[in-house]
Amino acid sequence: MALFAVLQTTFLLALLPLRTYQNEVLSEPLPLTPESLNVSINSTKQCLHLQWTVHSLDYHQELKMVFQIQISRFKASNVIWMGNYSTTVKRNQVLHWSWESELPLECAMHFVRVRTMVDDARIPAPRFWSNWSSWEKADAQSSLGDQPLYVFPKDKLVEEGSDVTICYISRNHQDNISCYLEDELTYGKQLDQNVWAFELKNVSFLRKSGTNFYCKGRGIPEGVVLFVSKVLEEPKDFSCETRDLKTLTCAWDPGKDTGLIQLPSYTLFESFSRKKTLCKHRNRCDWQVTQDPQETYNFTLVAENYFRKRSVNILFNLIHGVHPVAPYNLFPKNVNATHATMTWKVYSIGNNSALLCQLQLLGEGKVIQQHNVSVRVNGEYLLSELEPDTDYMARVCCAYADHFWKWSESISQKFTTGEAAPSEAPDVWRDVTFVSGHPTVTLFWKPLAKVHTNGKILFYNVVVENLDEPSSLEVLSVPAPANSTKVTLNQSSYQIHVTAHNSAGPSPASTVAISGHPGNENVEEGRMNGTEDGFPMSWKPQSRNATGYVVEWCDGPQNLPCILRWKNLGPTTTGTVISSGAFRPGVRYNFRIYEISTKRMAHLLEKKAGYLEELAPSYNPQVVMSNLTSHSFTLSWKDYPTESQTGFIQGYYVYLKSKAGEKCHHGFEKTVLPDNSVCCKYTIDNPDEKTFVVKALQPESVYEFLVTPYTSAGEGPLDDFTKVTTPDEYSHILLHIILPMIFCVLVVMITCYLKSQWLKDKCYPDIPDPYKSSVLSLIKFKENPHITIMNVNDCVPDAIEVVNKPEGSKTQFIGTRKSPTETKGTKPTYLDLLPTEKNYSGPGPCICFENFTYNRAASDLGYCGHFPVTPQAPPCQLGPLTSPENLLKTLEQNYMNSLGEIPAGEANLNYVSQLASPMSGDKESPPTNPPEPALCSEYKMQMALPLGLASPPPGEDSSLSSTTLSDPSQRH
């Protein structure tokens, strides 16, 4: 024991100097400068990797130290980053540190240096930094080739939403280089003479193949591809379950795809067993249950990609997470019209643990029965209360009976029950029309509902029973799916029974009674308004013994064939709402309400008409205008049908426009049309009044009118005004005068046309014959009533008297006949017409010609005179006149030759005989002792000359000249 104490004391004394030396060493500042600094470049991650050592430490020393690092770019003095790195350092330990550059390392030269400071609690203050290490250069450009243009970084992988810096190096700084991000020009900043940098903020994911960035100058474009990854999401809905207590399956929702070809990795780790497994799928992972009695599991799911990690955790109990496999072999058996037995099988779990199975019966997609059955291997259940001939589907799923967690997947099977006789009578109605006093009945019936048919309807039986002859039955079979038939009856009363048949039998009968005589159709029609739900209507019962009511209507408009519809109602019902998907606004629907008696006879109770929604009229009536006068006209539109309109016609509006802008008449009101024109409007509030008289109008004025109907929804279209012009106020009086006159003129013209030949023969025959003319009988000769008519064939005139007169004497002749004493200024000229002997000197017979048509004055004298031709008169060669025809031609020729010398309208001819005496008292007469005629005969001949050649007797101021036509032998 003493020896042990001595040894202990010796050991402690030996350690005391060593402790003292250590304290002295640690109490002094140590200049621990970093050494062996080495810088390397990782172009893939764009990192500078640094490594260095501290050689000044003793072998037994281990100190906590802080290293300060400076990084410069382009030149050592351009420090761009400085930071501290703390760690515990041993002697000759190689330290490592990395720095990621935002700017691609290829685009600039970098310089790095390091210094250190002891940061150990055992070293007393003050602490100070060591000297900087020498600058270490990192130059990635030295490995580049001779290309004129480089773009960095190559194939950069970034996360969506981050910032990226891209640069290019140009060997020729004189090149004009442009850079584009997905064809969009991008602007950067110049870092060095040949280096430009571009900062892309908040980059977004475009496509899995990456985002393109390229630059182009004079040469070939250069570019890089940025691979942008979506942010890795945390797995959702992480859960685990087992189907057979042997294998666990964990599943989750991985969220959105990151958009990279390389998918994130998923690892499942269990903390109790310290086991983990790499999942083969991105949304589920399997875990094998071991034989140990472990029931609780603590799983951690880790999702990881290049940028980040995500993890979720779950605590799972094996017994509480049993999800059985779906059952199988589900079949129906012993199926009839109302029952069916369902059987199925299940997979065992563990030691044949019991499963709770749920059996559901579905009809028309809805669950109508649901039953729970406990099953170990085989399941069976009897379904009852089924409908005949109905399609059903049975569905089964199961769950773990010891601890329910969730149902298994379900299996299903369809089946159909057997047929049964129809359970309800068809709904039957009739339409009765009378032809020649005999009723023709059209029967209609509605198809039975599926729940009542109990099978496929094959045909309908129609039994017609004559109530007056009970033994007379008529049976008709109508194949399905027909829903109507027509029966012709006589004037007896009938009952008609209709039944529906399927393969199992007939349905109950539906009975309709028909009377042989038409019922009362004179029922006043009422009006009603429709609503969104249909047509509400009500009625008053007429009999207390009614067994029901029927409402009848047509679904379509009145201008289309009637699609008969009806609704059967109970005996206590006095109102209903008729609705149909076929009802349309603006269509008139007529309803008839029948009361059904105990004998199934239908009696018309009421008629109703209505619109689901009234609309304004779609067109205006065709208006006929009549009785137009200067102050009024009548409008009528009697052919306008009011029943086929889009609403109940409540009346009519009569619009009247005046071109003169007159004030509205009594009963009219001023209104403004949609085109801002002003007119007058008259309201007719009686829809049956279809005639209107417009009064108080102005003569010879232009008016425009329009008649439009109106309903509760509005009026008809305001277009197509009709113009009308009122006549003159006296035009009708003139018409009463002018029309008869025109008629009389027409009658006279027609009569003259028809009697033209008669008038010609009477007044001016083609060959003038004085003996045939009746005009001479009208002439009264006062001086010589015994005058006779000379035969021109027996007379040859020998002289013509040519009378010249001024123009002004023509008017004087028209209304006045001059006496012989008033013709003093006249100087007649005689033309010798008959040839005479050269030595003729004695008197001879004379013939005097006179034309009463041109000179009535000569006829009043009663005699003719022969005057010698004046010497100044030029001779005229007549030639031989051997016949009256030649005489007339000669007269005409000489007369026409004289027209050139005598002014128009101043010449007249008087035919006088050679022995005619001048008028007594004529100052200008020839010698007073002419030879006296031995015998003188006076002839008066009718000879018509052209109009305008006749002249009145010479007046007082007229100047006459005479010309004598002599025989050629007498001219020389």
Q: What is the tens place of the pLDDT at every residue in 208-232?
A: 888 999 998 888 889 999 999 999 9
Per-residue pLDDT band for 136 (boundaries 50, 70, 90) equals: very high
DSSP state letter for 826: -
Residue type, 48: L
pLDDT confidence of residue 822: 41
The most confident of 672-686, 805-819, 944-958, by mean pLDDT: 672-686
Residue 663, C-beta contacts closer than 8 angstroms, at least 6 positions apart: none
Residue 363, C-beta contacts closer than 8 angstroms, at least 6 positions apart: 387, 390, 391, 392, 393
Rounded to 10 deg, the angle between the 756-763 and 731-754 helix axes is 60
- Report the mean per-residue pLDDT for the chain: 78
Overall average pLDDT of the 322-330 stretch: 93
pLDDT confidence of residue 281: 92
pLDDT confidence of residue 707: 95
Least Cα distance to 787 among 857, 862, 858, 854 occurs for: 862
Per-residue pLDDT band for 790 (boundaries 50, 70, 90) equals: low
pLDDT confidence of residue 739: 83
The most confident of 286-290, 614-618, 791-795, by mean pLDDT: 614-618
Overall average pLDDT of the 623-652 stretch: 89
Q: What is the tens place of the pLDDT at every residue in 278-298?
A: 999 999 999 988 877 788 899
Which residue in the block uniquely carries the two structure tokens 């480089």? 150
Per-residue pLDDT band for 784 (boundaries 50, 70, 90) equals: low
Contact 392, 361 (CB under 8 A): yes
CB under 8 A, 24+ apart: contacts of 666-670: 666/696
Per-residue pLDDT band for 769 (boundaries 50, 70, 90) equals: low
What's the rounded Cα separation, in Å, for the pair 528 and 896? 103
Residue-wise DSSP of 329-357: EEEEES--SS-EEEEEE----TTT--EEE
Q: Does 859 score more than 90 pLDDT?
A: no
Contact 913, 864 (CB under 8 A): yes
Residue type, 682: Y
pLDDT confidence of residue 856: 42
Q: Does 39 score more than 80 pLDDT?
A: yes
559: left (phi over 0), alpha (psi -120 to 50) or beta: alpha
pLDDT confidence of residue 840: 43
What's the rounded Cα separation, in Å, for the pair 941 and 891? 14
Q: Does 575 score more than 80 pLDDT?
A: yes
Overall average pLDDT of the 546-572 stretch: 88
Helix (H) or strand (E) holding 884: helix 884-897
Phi/psi for 284 (5° steps) reads -160, 160
Q: Does 399 score more than 50 pLDDT?
A: yes
Segment among 546-550, 574-578, 623-627, 943-947 with least mean pLDDT: 943-947
Q: What is the tens place of the pLDDT at every residue in 501-520?
A: 999 899 999 999 998 777 77
Residues forming beta bridges with residue 185, ordered by sequence position: 180
Q: Does 898 score more than 60 pLDDT?
A: no
What's the rounded Cα separation, in Å, for the pair 401 and 439? 73
Share of the chain above pLDDT 90, in %: 40
Residue 834, C-beta contacts closer than 8 angstroms, at least 6 positions apart: 796, 797, 798, 799, 881, 914
Q: Does 324 score more than 70 pLDDT?
A: yes
DSSP state letter for 234: P
Contact 251, 179 (CB under 8 A): no
Overall average pLDDT of the 466-476 stretch: 86
Per-residue pLDDT band for 962 (boundaries 50, 70, 90) equals: very low
865: three-class secondary structure by DSSP: strand
Share of the chain above pLDDT 70, in %: 75
Q: What is the tens place of the pLDDT at every residue in 702-737?
A: 999 999 999 999 999 998 899 999 988 776 677 778
Segment among 247-251, 456-460, 692-696, 836-840 with least mean pLDDT: 836-840
Residue type, 369: Q
Contact 849, 858 (CB under 8 A): no
Least Cα distance to 171 among 151, 187, 153, 198 occurs for: 151
* Tokens matching residue 135: 């600058």
Q: Does 198 score more than 90 pLDDT?
A: yes
Least Cα distance to 317 among 303, 296, 343 occurs for: 296
Exposure of 346 in the CB half-sphere (CA atoms within 13 A):
33
Q: Where are the alpha helices (DSSP H) in 532-625?
A: none
* Tokens matching residue 287: 């875990």
pLDDT confidence of residue 781: 47
Class of residue 903 by CB neighbours under 10 A (exposed 0-12, middle 13-18, buried 19+): exposed
Q: Does 869 score more than 80 pLDDT?
A: no
Residues forming beta bridges with residue 398, ordered by sequence position: 357
Per-residue pLDDT band for 30 (boundaries 50, 70, 90) equals: low
Segment among 261-275, 784-798, 933-947 with least mean pLDDT: 933-947
Residue-wise DSSP of 247-262: EEEEEEE--S----SS
Q: What is the tens place of the pLDDT at every residue in 430-439?
A: 999 888 778 8
Q: Does 905 score more than 50 pLDDT?
A: no
Which residue in the block uniquely carries the two structure tokens 């029973």? 465
Overall average pLDDT of the 248-269 stretch: 89
Contact 864, 848 (CB under 8 A): yes
Q: Does 793 score more than 60 pLDDT?
A: no
Q: Does 236 score more than 80 pLDDT?
A: yes
Q: Could you give the C-alpha distances from 287 to 249, 301, 400, in angstroms and in order? A: 6, 12, 20
pLDDT confidence of residue 766: 62
> Each residue of 55-88: b (16+ CB within 10 Å) or e?
eebeeebebebbbbbbbbbeeeeeeeeeeebeee
Q: Could you give the C-alpha distances from 41 to 101, 133, 443, 842, in angstroms and in order? A: 10, 19, 101, 180
Q: What is the tens place of the pLDDT at every residue in 480-500?
A: 999 999 998 888 889 999 999
Q: Does 165 score more than 80 pLDDT?
A: yes
DSSP state letter for 389: T
pLDDT confidence of residue 760: 73
CA 574 from chain centre, in angstroms, equals 46
Overall average pLDDT of the 763-775 stretch: 59
Residues forming beta bridges with residue 164, ordered by sequence position: 200
User: What's the chain's length in residues?
Assistant: 972
Q: Does 821 score more than 70 pLDDT?
A: no
Contact 89, 57 (CB under 8 A): yes
CA 940 from chain centre, in angstroms, equals 99
Contact 266, 337 (CB under 8 A): no
Q: Does 633 score more than 90 pLDDT?
A: yes
Overall average pLDDT of the 316-344 stretch: 92
What's the rounded Cα separation, in Å, for the pair 693 and 165? 94
Please provide the distance, in angstroms rounded to a whole number, between the alpha carbons at the two ends of the chain: 229
Higher pLDDT, 719 or 865: 719
Pairing of β 95-100 and β 149-152: unpaired
Q: Does 825 score more than 80 pLDDT?
A: no
What's the rounded Cα separation, in Å, for the pair 672 and 717? 14
Q: Does 329 score more than 70 pLDDT?
A: yes
User: What is the 3-state secondary structure of 526-548?
Assistant: EEEECECCEEEEECCCCCCCCCE
Contact 689, 634 (CB under 8 A): no
Least Cα distance to 567 among 579, 580, 552 occurs for: 552
Segment among 115-124, 290-299, 872-881 with least mean pLDDT: 872-881
Residue 443, C-beta contacts closer than 8 angstroms, at least 6 positions apart: 428, 429, 430, 462, 484, 485, 486, 487, 496, 498, 512
Laid out side by side, the sheet with 79-90 consists of 79-90, 62-73, 110-118, 136-138
